[in-house]
Amino acid sequence: MLNSIEKVLLSENQIKERIKEMGASIAKDYEGKDLLLIGILRGVALFIGDISRAIPMPLEIDFMAISSYGASTRSSGVVRILKDLDSSITGRHVLIVEDIVDTGLTLSYLIRMLQDRRPASLEICALLDKPARRLVDVDVKHKGFTIPDHFVVGYGLDYGQKFRNLPFVGILKPEVYSK
């Protein structure tokens, strides 16, 4: 598996340190509020576990599964809801937790859909932001790292459902995904 990685972009320690900082910032922003984290599956699984433990306050977690990639490396722009929320967000302070913000198409669709459910507030937290690929403007309030336009895997991010379990974020060798 490691021979498929061109370069480690973000080390395990870099990720851990940044998540601590993000957790403190989120706790400050939501102090005294009823916070609900909504994780977007599957890529967010590792990040939401770590970021939720870094937020020193009571909170709830729910999940959605949305697809716009399928088995491709590029977003199709067609968004499908695979799993919706289990609870209402009306009147709640909602923080969408994402692994990566890429084109913004999926996230922009999700924001419009969730705003119709009348949350008290709706913000975005993402481990990675890749602005070079942005097609739709989205405001990421809590951002871990801004990264260049490379296909990355690890720490929850995958290619063909593989590489999620790497403890770092690495650049996948092009020959792996261009076969």
- 154 near 163, Cβ under 8 Å? yes
Question: How many angstroms separate the most distant Cα atoms in the chain?
Answer: 51
**pLDDT at 115 (0 to 100):** 97
In this structure, whether the domain defined by 13-148 belongs to CATH 3.40.50.2020 is answered with yes
Report, as ranges of residue numbers, the positions in the chain whose pLDDT lies below 70.
69-77, 179
* Distance separating alpha carbons of residues 169 and 156, to the nearest angstrom: 9
- 105 near 136, Cβ under 8 Å? yes
Per-residue pLDDT tens for 86-120? 999 999 999 999 999 999 988 999 999 999 999 99
**pLDDT at 67 (0 to 100):** 77
**pLDDT at 14 (0 to 100):** 98
For tokens 């459902």, what's the residue? Answer: 161
Burial of residue 124 (number of CB atoms within 10 Å: 0-12, 13-18, 19+)? buried
Angle at 138 between CA 135 and CA 140, to 5 degrees: 135
For tokens 């999940």, what's the residue? Answer: 63
**pLDDT at 76 (0 to 100):** 53
- Active site (catalytic) residues: 102
**pLDDT at 79 (0 to 100):** 77
Q: What sign does the dihedral 126-11-13-62 (CA atoms) show?
A: positive
Which residues have C-beta within 8 Å of that of residue 160, sequence separation ≥ 6?
71
Domain boundaries, the chain: 13-148
